[in-house]
Chains A and B, each alone.
Chain A
Amino acid sequence: MVKTTPFHPRLAELNTTQLWSHWAGHLSASQYDIAAKHEYFGVRNAVGFFDASPLYKYEIAGRDAERFLGGVLARDIRTCRPGRAQYTIWCDSNGYVLEDGVVFRHSANEFLLTAAEPNLSFLQNQIGSLEVVIDDVSDHYAMLAIQGPRARAALAPLAPEVNELGYFAHAQSKIAGSEVTISRTGFTGDLGFEVRLPADNALPILDAIMEAGEPHHMRPFGDQALNILRIEAGLPLIGAEFSSSRYAFNEHERFTPDELGFGWLLKGIDDDARPFAGRRAILAERSNSSSRWKTVGISVNPREYDELFYGAGLIPPKDEPPAAWETMLYDEDDERAGYATSYTYSPMAQTHIGIARVRPELAAIGTTIHVEQTVNHVYTTSPATVTSMPFYRPERKTSMS
């Protein structure tokens, strides 16, 4: 039986479409009313909230907590000071990515890790002789993401701490009588915050936030809008860009951090004092230049796209939900160049965009790549350009005012 999140009674009232998907065993709204696209615009131009409660959450504490996480996580946990959070990944010993998540550091020895998939036994199995305790607190907390240019203005009357929160910082606050943790994080590539709050007081807190957001046109947004937002932000999604190497059947289903564009997380990998799982394999991959792929953005050349469809007597489709499958890419010689793992029309970029894996020699910005299209039931291609990501990056995402 699928579960509902602590916010569900209120969200069920708000979800006039009654369209739900299943996410981590919970009902998750696909879209709340007539147009997912409008929820998207609501986030980009005002503020929206998203129920992220189904995320798994682990409290990791103890004298050796930092040392433990330093060995598990591929990003250097020592650079994450108390009051800060880090986007991070963890790898297997062959240097393939297992999963990603966000780790919050509350004090020298107290951390909280969020992840899209369950990880308790995996984490506990890595403890060995260290003095670390890991608790699954997934159901203790609900999580609400408040995202968009008005996010700060909407939350400030309830939690003035947001005015001082830098990008990826977090602070304790009190909303509707409950202790909450607010972080300057999110999955939209916009100004935004996430509130972690006690599940048993979720509804009063949600009501307070909705009331505070009302003059700013705060509205809920669902999976569909989130997917467009996160692709514009160039943010990878487990299940789309990659899945855990632990469950791969062959080498086509596992990827290294460098292949996934996570190289930036590995800062300091040359330091022997950072013995995380997969490090030696990744170092070998680098010294042998053996990466098979590079992750890039692709931006479809809009003129050729339009001409392709108009030329066939059709109206160019630009309003499909993000593709739920891989989109094949070809090089100038019609050889396979790779594939887009996420692909959507972007209102901000005014063209189709994708997060793609291509052969390393095709990864230079400006390279032309040909994207599979179906026109009149026949496969053809239209040209796209390799670009950097994110596709949309407003200054407000990281700025202090």
Chain B
Amino acid sequence: MTDTNRYDAIVVGGGHNGLVNGAYLAKAGLNTVILEQRHLVGGAAITEELYPGFSFTTFSYALSLIRPEVIRELELVQHGFNPIYMPTSFSPMENGDYLLLGPDRDENIREIMRHSPRDADAMDRYEHDVARILQLIQPLFDRVPPNIFGKSEEDAEDIGWLLGHLGSAEPKVIHDAVRLITGSISDFLDDYFENEALKGYLAASSTTGTKVGPMSAGSGLVSLMMMMGEHDGHLGSWSFHKGGNGGFTQLLGRAAQSFGAEIKLEARVDHVITKDGRAVGVVLEDGTEYLADVVVSALDPRQTFKKLVDPRELPGELVESIDRFQFNGTSAKVNFALDGAPRYPALGDRTDHYRGFVSIAPSVEYLERAYDAAKYGWYSERPYLDTCLQSFLDPDMAPPGKHVMSCFVQYAPYHLKGSDWDTERQNLGNTVQATIESFFPGFGDLVLHREVVTPLDIERVVGLSEGNIYAGDFLLPQMYFFRPAPEWSQYRTPIEGYYQGGSGTHPGGCVMGAPARLASQQILKDKAAKS
């Protein structure tokens, strides 16, 4: 062992949270190393040229929830932060019609009126009510959750803050928030809308990444999480980052390095070294040791508590909680290299509807039927697809005139009944392609290359348990002061010096950076208290 392997802090995992964590710790003056198992940083937020000239966002594909605080505090603008605002949402319908929404409220009203005059003003009410809910919840994303089971003065203060914050809201806003968080998105939307296409479009994101259907209680919560982001003051809006989400994590890596963090690639951590109940370093699979008084796991809770450390060193109740923590990966990706733009018959040769998400979610019922398959251990015959042709906004993603298309697929459960993903991979690809073909005739002729990413592939490549894209389902018992377990939601662990700061901690998954930001604050606070 040489001194060169001694650091103040070690971050396990170079996904976006690991990079954010490392950047904050290095910025605070800690000699920090980030250990990433793969040949590139980014975890599930990477861009790869899997077919010559075409850049694929293999897994995560768009940006919204990244906290403005992270952008500012890590000086990301100076490192090349370049989100490209997505102005449109396009939802094809099964009867050949479509719903095309953009940034102009009045044009949207007219478009909605085409389908339902009643829903035109309902949209304003819905958006306003949701904005109020977001305003209520957003501050919770920028604070360590209170330990409601704690008895310390600090715990009392934290709980007091929460009660004060909720107490200052209007009763209607609290009630709307509870209706959305505990109920189904289908019921919530029924309170406003009648049109199926509009409801399908608005319900679609409620199904992402979690094993719930739009009619299940709890789908409102997922929907809320997907709306928590913002761009340029537009709540719930999404963007592509220049160069895809890999372009974003590359710049996060540069930012971390500029603060002095070291990044070591192909450094797969085997386990955390503990001594007398405290963490003192890590050992790589190749036997290399790194020593530090602070070790942060940016991996998911199952990896954090059951792989990196010996569960026998942990309280039994925590281990049980982690064992019960639901992963239930139900998402897949199919990425295409296309020879040209797909054609939607009702729009002729137009392509201006490809400047944002193209959402194959024509009705709530379509989504719920897609979910039915997952309940019984199979993938949807007609899946919900959240697709985008990033090359329309960022032409560097594909050669001139060609396009790259990312398709997020829901549902594709990790546990298949009667088969396995190595057998079903191309069948899933065919199912997705056939679904697209049914809306965009001739689509198949454009396909130059197809990359199918199953939940098993997500687990194998990225390391996310059961391929769960949020490092743990968005379910109410797994959120806020329960994420990932009661009493352990404040980024510490029972092992002194060992911290958790991945998407399995509050506020959760998506390229948000908030878990890592809050974890690093906690680490620095503990360090200050000690000295």
Contact = CB atoms under 8 A, between A and B. Distances in A.
A347 B87 CA distance: 14
Interface residues of A, number: 30
B411 to A, nearest CB: 32
A348 B82 contact: yes
Contact of A217 (B103, B104, B395): B395
Contacts of B71: 350
B514 to A, nearest CB: 15
Interface residue range, chain B: 20 to 34
Interface in B387-440: 392-395, 400-401
Interface stretch (B202-210, B232-240, B359-367): B232-240
A317 B131 CA distance: 13
Contact of A315 (B102, B131, B242, B392): B131
B233 A345 contact: yes
Given A318-B233, A345-B233, A37 B69 contact: no
B68 A306 contact: yes
A137 interface: no
A213 B104 CA distance: 27
B211 interface: no
A38 interface: yes
B83 A150 contact: no
Contacts of B235: 315
Nearest to B71: A350
A319 B231 CA distance: 10
Interface in A347-384: 347-350
Contacts of B401: 214-215
A216 interface: yes
A185 B395 CA distance: 23
Contacts of B72: 302-303, 350
Contacts of A347: 83, 85, 232
Contacts of A34: 87-88, 102-104, 107
B81 interface: yes
Nearest to B351: A217
B84 A41 contact: yes
B84 A319 contact: no
A150 B81 contact: no
A41 B393 contact: yes
B104 A35 contact: yes
Contacts of A319: 232-234
Interface string B98-119: 0000111001000000000000
Contacts of A349: 77
B400 A216 contact: yes
Residue picked from A34, A44, A215, A345, most chain B C-beta under 10 Å: A34
Nearest to A313: B135
Contacts of B102: 34-35
B445 to A, nearest CB: 19
B85 A37 contact: yes
A316 interface: yes
B85 A315 contact: no
Given A45-B84, A302-B68, A317 B393 contact: no
A33 interface: yes
A217 B392 contact: yes
Contacts of B355: 38
Interface string A308-324: 00100101111100000
Given A348-B77, A350-B71, A38 B395 contact: no
17 contacts: A33-B352, A34-B104, A35-B85, A35-B87, A37-B232, A38-B355, A44-B82, A44-B84, A45-B394, A153-B400, A302-B68, A310-B139, A315-B233, A317-B233, A319-B232, A347-B85, A350-B68
Interface of A: 33-35, 37-38, 41, 44-46, 150, 153, 214-217, 302-303, 306, 310, 313, 315-319, 345, 347-350
Given A303-B72, A310-B135, 10 more contacts: A37-B85, A37-B87, A41-B85, A44-B82, A215-B401, A216-B395, A302-B68, A315-B135, A315-B235, A347-B232
Interface of B: 68-69, 71-72, 77, 81-85, 87-88, 102-104, 107, 131, 135, 139, 232-235, 242, 352, 355, 392-395, 400-401
